[in-house]
Amino acid sequence: MKLDTQEMVNRTLKRGIAQAQSLGIDANEDDYTICQPFSNGHNIIVRIVTEDSGDRTIKVDVSDGLILLPEIEGTLDVFKDSEVTN
């Protein structure tokens, strides 16, 4: 089934923001990444970031080759335990 890419980007962003908020992420202040996988390895990856200028930017990447590995237990040492939200 063919899906409209722009519609799927919009849906991914909307659902991702809702999911981020439910996880305690401040969707208007925090930087975060949303990944929506599709069949055949296709993905929409959306990054919401604060630029050095202070502007909020939404970066979208439509990919046909993202490989998701299994989750590894633990916290990366660049983050404080209190900053990690799962």
Alpha-carbon gap, residue 20 to 39, rounded angstroms:
23
pLDDT tens, position by position, 59-76: 999 999 888 889 999 989
In this predicted structure, what is the pLDDT of residue 83? 46
Give the CA distances from residue 26 to residues 8, 59, 62, in Å, rounded to whole numbers and listed in that order: 23, 18, 24
- Give residue-wise pLDDT tens across range 22-59: 999 999 999 999 999 998 889 999 999 999 999 999 99
Strand segments, DSSP code E, in the chain are 32-37, 43-50, 56-63
Does the pLDDT value for residue 84 go beyond 50?
A: no
